[in-house]
Structure 1
Amino acid sequence: MSTPSEALEPAILFKTYYTRLCYFAFQFTGDKDKARDIAQEAFVSYLGQQGQVTAHPVAIKNFLYSTVRNACLNAIRHEKVVEKFAAAQEGMAENDPSVILTMIRSEVIGEINRALETLPEACQVIIRMGYISGLKNQEIADQLNISINTVKTQKKRGLHLLRQRLNPEIYAVLFL
């Protein structure tokens, strides 16, 4: 660069420093695509702060290299945080009993819902109200405007059908 006025020309700056900044960023990241992105972001940052950076070629060069270095260090820090989080989640998922219990519960509930959907509609509604919503027989009868004996009969019929369709372990969970 020969004069400060040339230093302010974005196209000349880009042509002069882009390859150098990419190489510089690559030394930190080891990733060509990430290095290119960081170098481009440095130019975007410079253009956004052009009025605040001294219009001297050395100051511009220092700004660009500092911006790339800081972006690389931030990217490396972020990567380490992501890796630590992933490792913690992986270890937790394998060893944390609450995660395992949640997975089992989800599977059981899925099986129960699948089996409930195969019941006749009246049985299905009454079983859901009684065992999932926790309503008493009289409450179900009142809400559906049917006799309490009909509720008891439909519950008995629904449970019989569920017992046939579900594994014994899953059937037992329905009452827990």
Structure 2
Amino acid sequence: MKETDPDVELLARIGNNEPAAVNEMVTRKLPRLLALASRLLGDADEAKDVAQESFLRIWRQAAHWRSGEARFDTWLHRVVLNLCHDRLRRRKARPLTDEEAAALVDTSPGAEEQLDSQDRSDRMAAALAALPERQREAIVLQYYQELSNIDAAALMNISVEALESLLSRARRQLRSQLADTPGLARPGRGKP
């Protein structure tokens, strides 16, 4: 049995210009869009710009959405990734400042439970920011966005094997960078 897309009905309502549907979509999707963009860009203001542009694309696409071709959530993640890639390319590979690296840390209760001190959080953010872009993207999509390997690989336009290779290299690099910080050197099944 084919899984139904939980967003199709909401998209149809947005396509019919229902203000309540727009509010519901923002409530449903904004936290994850901001989290993804913030982690990839390391800048909260840029992440807000990416989220805003993503919602503009939702509103433009809603009336024309063809269900069954792709899940809406997968399409939306691809839009955010593309917008983040565009912004990262424009930066011309300048290194992140300490403040930008610190902004990569998820400050929600889930992240705080994983990282019990601000110093350790800062070290994790810096280690994540030091990863090559594709490795960081793979880690963020799997661990923070909680996407399956299949969905993350599809969003990155790579095979599942290539994703697993990126994840493996990223985890090794994170372990190496965090080896001297007790409790942070084991990015495995939980958040890195």
Q: Larger helix proportion, structure 1 or 2?
A: 1
Structure with larger RCO (C-alpha < 8 A, sep 6+): 2
- TM, length-normalised to structure 1: 0.40
Structure showing greater radius of gyration is 1
